[in-house]
Amino acid sequence: MQRVEITGSSIKRVAAETAMPITILRREDIERTGATSAQDLVNLIPGNFGGNVASNNVGASGVPSTANLRALGARYTLVLLNGRRVANYAVGNNPVDLNSIPLSAIERIEVLRDGASAVYGADAVAGVINFILKKDYKGMEVSAYKTHVDQGGGNTTSFNLTGGFGDISTDRFNVLFSANHEENDKLRASDRSFSTTSVRPDLGINKSSPRNGVPNLKFTDSLGNSYVGVNPYRYNGCKNDEFSLVVISEKGCGTDYVKYIDLVPEAKHDNIVTRAVFKVNEGMELFAEAAYTKDKMIASASPAPYTNQMKYPINGRFYPKTIKLPKGLKLPAGYKMPNGTVTTAESVLAADMDVTPTSELEGTWRTVAGGGRNDLTKTENTRIVVGAKGTMAGWDYETALTYGKNEVEIQFGPGKFSYAKLEPLVKKGEINVFGTQDAASLAALLGSQLSGFENGGTSTSKEFDFKMSKELFTLPAGAVGFSVGTSYRKEKLTQVSSDVLKNGDEVGGAGEVPGVSGDRQVYGLFSEVVVPVVKGLELSGAARYDKYKNGFGTQFDNLSPKLSFTYRPSNVIMARGSVARGFRAPTLVDNLNPKALNNTSSNFSDPVRCPNGKEVDSKNIVGDRQDECNVQLTTQNSGNPDLKPEKSKQYTLGLVFQPTSTISGSIDYWNVKIDKSINAMSENTVFGDPVANVNQFYRYDPEIEDKYLKAKAEAEAHNLPPPPVPVGGIKLPYAANTNKDFPLAYVALPRVNTGKFYAAGVDFNLNYRQKMGDMGTVGANYDSTYYSKHGYQYQGSPEVSDLGNYKDFGPTPRYRHMLTLNYGLGQWSASVTHNYTKGYWDYTDPASIAPDYPELRKVGAYSTFDATLGWKPMKNVSMTFGIKNIADEDPPSSRNASNFQVGYDPTFTNPLGRTFYARLNYKFL
């Protein structure tokens, strides 16, 4: 049998001897799934759950698609291409983008379901996914793929050309090339009944935003009465389709923002892959690989919320003559009625009533007439590998130079506006904030749009590696295998923001988005040994020493050891196990990201000034200066140059069995613990227990802001220089302040070594394959993961289990499986696959618990069936027809609040529904 290198080991061995728990997906398995992207395929693996998907770009920008083995977080899964690293995604704090993997050129995928820090380095804690390119390919083929989504939207079209020439054994060379183009249509939230509104009484949630195309207004009327948060359309139940208004209180309206958003963004993917091998002699092969991928994505979110306090002048040309107060509005004691009477106690308005505004009109506004916000993201990934491998003096060796670059450029798309351009127009009254724009105001609004470069980054990795292995000597039970190797890698990251983002000038933007720049060098030395102790018993040991030297002055090192064994008491069963230690270094963003203001990902209420969504009595009126109830609140995020590496411990124990020639399987228990984990403090935790986390809430004294603004206005009136800004700014932040008159400046969510993650479970695989003579071949494969525990712990706090529970990092369903039945006869093949994910307890906002919002709510299981039919009418033609989600199952409903989509969880489910697809392949003979 040919000796090969298996993912997770540096020693070439016969494949059947491996002790590693590995799942292998071959080309026929990939095509049977109907997947066209690495993201779609990886999401089908039961041991993978909760990585980023394309849908996460809605309401965000520059979000890659990521793998997430063991649901521990994408940063703990190492993604390789042909056994070597790929450059990390260049924006944010992310690992490898799965869109940079050219799936069309992949021959097989090896998923190592065990930690491999001892072989590959720091970030292989949860496992390794190794995409392996086609090799020694000869001929040429073209293929086309097309889907038809039954409910409409989200269709995919792709074309591929693959060719190769030369035979290693006879010509001493082989060249492979592959090119692929794919287009994904967008899917709008309004295209699906389960996602078309933010108001879900069945879930007890109303996620509409108080920032509207027609604001909830603060004003004074002609009788001297003051109002806060009154919407001109509240009197008729907020019925206004143009602005998608819904009722949120007895006086205010909200925007049903999901009417404007995507579920799945529009995208285009292109890749070109080449690989060449030249056989110098029997002991040496030279090889080179080059891959280029380009992805373009357009993600549409809701129209931009004008979060600065909008002030509309009395002389503005759209200033309303009257505002209608809604029936049921509570009038305070001392309220002056039009008939001259004054209320002596709080009363309720018995009928709609017109009042005449006489002051500036204030509130928060939304640029509905400008359309939804669009981010245009372009990602390019370049990878070049040159190397040599062969045998020398009895040693197998391989060495290579690898260069990888990931470039991300995000452009301002339509619907993005500048405060600097738009605010003067609003202050002069030239924009209609009360209804439909006329031609002049619409032109003025659209003239305030942003365009051009928004932000982006470049991530580069340059690596040299060398390894060699051989069988040193032979013991009575077999040969002792040994390998040793070294690597050197230099990483560099540059993230750049436009002046608009640096200054927080984008209307409805995430606040200040500063740039990051840094580099590091990583030195590695690793070794592995395999010792057959007695017949049937084999011990393996591996260790890797890594040293990180950061360009900003810090450094650290670590030794990652691993011990494993296999024991074969008979030909039909094998026991295996391993124990290992590992570590993960903080990323450059973890270390260097400067302090910057951002927004929470979901809606919260100020726990002091608006507890449980109810405004308190305050000298400084709640909502007067800023939105404070059931809205995205301001956070301050930051890196930390003093972060320490994370440490991990893990072990596995399992059995591999093959009782007959037709049945085989494996069962493995695994356990992972990660200490000193690096995370930004969780917004769910901080807002869920504001008393325990009071030090994270920073407030400001509004009187300081008032005094400064008054002094500034007086200086401007007299053409004098502006007064100096108080130290700390006009919103001088005070920590741990619970004064109900002090609004929230921000909530600090820094990165810290917060505590630990832990996970354990069982992987079970069962295979059956039976040849039945003239009746064909039948087969079955069952692949599953069962979690026995999963959770996290913040330092100084008790452990939190998210096993079957939606917590800070989402849920971890207790069980997932993929069961496939297949049949082949002559020119025909067919398969049916069942994908199943067990349900879990839904997200709970502690402040929202009420009779219509129970503390405990179950998210149903997600169960879909897929089917394929293959036909090969002639030697060079093959066709595949398939149906995904045969029963057209909708995603189970969820009140999850971590995404812009409402009513289901886009990270864990697919909103497309029943999808028909066809693939045609033609090989040139």
- Nearest one of 6, 38, 3 to 23, comparing CA atoms: 6
CA distance 852 to 203: 8
As a whole number of angstroms, the distance between CA 31 and CA 263 comes to 25
pLDDT digits (tens, 9 = 90+) for 120-169: 877 788 999 999 998 888 999 999 999 999 999 999 999 999 999 999 98
Beta-ladder partners of 26: 108
List pLDDT tens digits, range 558-602: 999 999 999 999 989 999 999 999 888 898 888 888 777 777 877
CB crowding 311-334: b at 16 or more within 10 Å, else e? bbeeebebebeebbbbeebebeee
- pLDDT score for 751: 86
Which among 891, 602, 902, 880 has a CA at the least distance from the CA of 33?
880
Name the nearest CA neighbour of 71 among 758, 831, 914: 758
Q: How far apart are CA 298 and CA 305, in angstroms?
A: 19
How far apart (Å, rounded) are the C-alpha atoms in residues 316 and 4? 77
What kind of fold does domain 3-190+264-302+373-414+449-592+643-681+751-924 have according to CATH?
Maltoporin; Chain A (2.40.170)
How far from 414 is each of 189, 298, 300, CA to CA, in Å? 19, 10, 9
The single-letter DSSP state of residue 515 is -
Interatomic CA distance for residues 178 and 139, integer angstroms = 12
The candidate with the shortest Cα–Cα distance to 840, out of 887, 807, 865, 808, is 807
Residue 273: predicted pLDDT: 95
Q: How many CB atoms lie within 10 A of CB 179?
A: 18
Mean of pLDDT values over 729-747: 88
At 18 the pLDDT is: 58
* pLDDT tens digits, 780-794: 999 999 999 999 988
Residue 790 is predicted with a pLDDT of 97
**CA atoms of 378 and 376, how far apart (whole Å):** 7
Question: 115 versus 611: which is more confidently predicted?
Answer: 611
Strand partners, 479: 474
pLDDT band per the 50, 70, 90 thresholds, residue 4: low
In tens, the pLDDT along 178-236 reads 999 999 999 999 999 999 999 999 999 999 998 999 999 999 999 999 999 999 999 99
CA dist., res. 21 & res. 228, Å (int): 63
Size of the chain, expressed as the number of residues it contains:
925
Q: What is the mean pLDDT of residues 302-320?
A: 91
Q: How many C-alpha atoms does 829 have within 13 Å on its Cβ side?
A: 17
Question: Token digits for 866?
Answer: 């897929």
Contacts 24+ apart (CB under 8 A), 668-671: 668/21, 668/113, 668/576, 668/762, 668/763, 668/764, 669/760, 669/761, 669/762, 670/21, 670/70, 670/113, 670/114, 670/760, 670/761, 670/762, 670/763, 671/759, 671/760
pLDDT digits (tens, 9 = 90+) for 260-292: 999 999 999 999 999 999 999 999 999 999 999
DSSP 632: P
Note the pLDDT tens digit of each residue in 378-400.
Answer: 999 999 999 999 999 999 999 99
Q: Tell me the C-alpha distance between 91 and 376, whole Å.
A: 14
- The tokens describing 494, both together, are 């540059």
C-alpha 129/C-alpha 67 separation (Å) is 8
**What is the identity of the amino acid at 169?**
S
In the numeric block, the tokens 């909760």 are attached to 50
Which ranges of 835-922 would DSSP assign to H, the alpha helix? none
Return the exposure string of 594-626: e unless at least 16 CB atoms fall within 10 Å of the residue's CB, then b. Answer: eebebbbbbbbbbbbbbeebebeebebbbbebb
In angstroms, rounded to a whole number, what is the distance separating the alpha carbons of residues 401 and 396?
A: 18
Average pLDDT over residues 501-507: 86
Tokens of 672: 């992972």
Contact 755, 799 (CB under 8 A): no
Which of 94, 108, 85, 99 lies closest to 25, judged by CA?
108
Cα of first residue to Cα of last residue in the chain, in angstroms, is 30
Distance from CA of residue 281 to its chain's centroid?
A: 47
* pLDDT at residue 12 is higher than 60: no
> Nearest-5° angle of CA 598, CA 911, CA 680?
25
Structure tokens at 443: 């032109």
Q: How many CA atoms are closer than 13 Å to the CA of 169, on its beta-carbon side?
A: 4
pLDDT of 14 strictly over 50 = no
Tell me the H-state helices in 618-764.
Answer: 683-688, 702-717
3-state secondary structure of 163: strand
Residue 510 banded pLDDT, cuts 50, 70, 90: low
Give Cβ neighbours of residue 703 (< 8 Å, ≥ 6 apart): none
Q: Report the alpha-carbon distance of residue 322 to residue 232 in Å, rounded.
A: 9
Alpha helices in 530-682, H assignment, sequence order: 588-592
Give the CA angle between residues 489, 400, 464 to the nearest 5°: 20
- In this predicted structure, what is the pLDDT of residue 719? 87
Cβ burial, residue 555 (10 Å; 0-12/13-18/19+): exposed
- pLDDT at 512 (0 to 100): 65
**Lowest-confidence region among 13-27, 281-295, 470-484:** 13-27
pLDDT at residue number 17: 46
Residue 360 has pLDDT above 90, yes or no: yes
Cα 79–chain centre separation? 16
What distance in Å separates the CA atoms of residue 235 and residue 813, rounded to the nearest whole number? 45
Distance CA 169, CA 174 (A): 10
What is the token pair recorded at 498?
Answer: 């436009």
Using only C-alpha atoms, the chain has a radius of gyration, in whole angstroms, of: 31
Rounded distance, CA 599 to CA 885, Å?
36
| 699 touches 745 (CB < 8 A) | yes
Number of neighbours of residue 781 by Cβ within 10 angstroms: 18
Burial 843-871 (b: 16+ CB within 10 A, else e): bbbebbeeeebeeebebbebebbbbbebe
Identify any residues that bridge with 129 across adjacent strands, giving them in sequence order. 79, 111
Answer whether residue 514 shows pLDDT above 80. Answer: no
Question: What tokens appear for 575 in the block?
Answer: 């026991």
581's CB contacts (< 8 A; 6+ apart) are 117, 560, 561, 562, 647, 648, 649, 650
> Can you name the residues that pair with 230 across neighbouring β-strands?
217
Looking at residue 15, its pLDDT comes to 45
Q: What mean pLDDT is reported for the chain?
A: 91
Query: Between vectors from CA 68 to CA 64 and to CA 72, what angle results, nearest 5°?
Result: 125
Q: Read off φ and ψ for residue 851, nearest 5 degrees.
A: -55, -35
pLDDT of 334 reads 94
What pLDDT digit, counting tens, does each position of 60-109 carry? 878 899 999 999 999 999 999 999 999 999 988 888 999 999 988 899 99
Please tell me the chain's helix, strand, coil percentages from 3-state DSSP, rounded to the nearest 5.
10, 50, 40
- The rounded distance, in Å, linking the Cα atoms of 404 and 292 is 10
Token pair of 806, please? 């939606």
* pLDDT tens column, 420-464: 999 999 999 999 999 999 999 999 999 999 999 999 999 999 999
Mean pLDDT, residues 790-812? 89
Q: Is there a contact between 562 and 541 (Cβ–Cβ < 8 Å)?
A: yes
Cβ–Cβ under 8 Å, residues 78 and 129: yes
More confident residue, 178 or 116: 178
In the structure encoding, which two tokens stand for residue 30, read together? Answer: 């990939």
Taking the C-alpha atoms of residue 600 and residue 749, their distance in angstroms, rounded to an integer, is 10
> What does the domain layout of the chain look like in residue ranges?
3-190+264-302+373-414+449-592+643-681+751-924
